Homo-oligomer: A and B are copies of this chain.
Amino acid sequence: MSKTSTLYQHGTLALLVPGLLKGTTTMADFLKHGDTGIGTGEGLDGELVILDGKPYQVNSKGEVNIVNGDFTMPFANANWADYQPLATVENVKMADLSKQILELSRSANTFFSVKVQGTFTDVTTRAVAKSDVPYKTLSETAKQQSVFKRDTVEGTLLGYYSPELFNGAAVGGFHYHFMSDAHDFGGHVLGFAVDQAEVTIQQFDTLEQHLPVSDNDYMQHDFADDEIDKSIEESEK
């Protein structure tokens, strides 16, 4: 497989649902699989945006930090950046942008990433507060989220699209994180409009799905009664 045609994912979205929030990979190891990505820390410790190999974390106070190599994560994905121009867009809201990207890319049945760089308005992000052992479920933990807003901000919207078939392993459809150019605002994106931005895209033909098989809590968990799809709909979409 080509390095730039692969999306690497550690963990699954589904394992967050019952609260399997232990960090099962380190950032140092994770960055061997890409220079661009998103994720969350142990205990849902903030929202991660990796750009040009730099792992930014937006914590629940809205602060942006670069995390160390020993920072651990239960769930994250990464790719080696090779984005190609797709479109220049103006005055478009989140849902319409997603729709336009799907139409232009004709890639609904594979994994891809978009990097949207420019000026955004009405950006709403959230970051979850780190929880400790014993971890609560994703739905309960997500209630402890902080919400941040910016009227106008220049930055990078980093999005990942997964085919619906893989909902549960990943977020089916689009999943966006944001980082301002000034590195002072970002997080998991709840809403935005584009003022003016360049949309670039990187299509993947391979998902490299890594599972935390060394984590006994993960391996012995019975997922049968977890309402994975319902919880994802509530917490991540």
Contact = CB atoms under 8 A, between A and B. Distances in A.
A110 interface: yes
A71 interface: no
A118 interface: no
A230 to B, nearest CB: 14
Given A169-B166, A218-B109, A203 B213 contact: yes
A211 B205 contact: yes
A14 B220 contact: no
Interface in A161-211: 163-166, 168-169, 203, 205-211
B209 A207 contact: yes
Nearest to A105: B219
A165 B12 contact: yes
A99 B221 CA distance: 17
B1 A109 contact: no
A143 interface: no
Interface of A: 1, 12, 14, 106-111, 163-166, 168-169, 203, 205-211, 213, 218-221, 223-224, 228
Given A165-B14, A228-B165, A109 B206 contact: no
A169 to B, nearest CB: 6
A8 to B, nearest CB: 9
A68 B205 CA distance: 25
Given A206-B210, A208-B206, A210-B206, A221 B165 contact: no
Contacts of A203: 213
A185 to B, nearest CB: 34
A211 B166 CA distance: 12
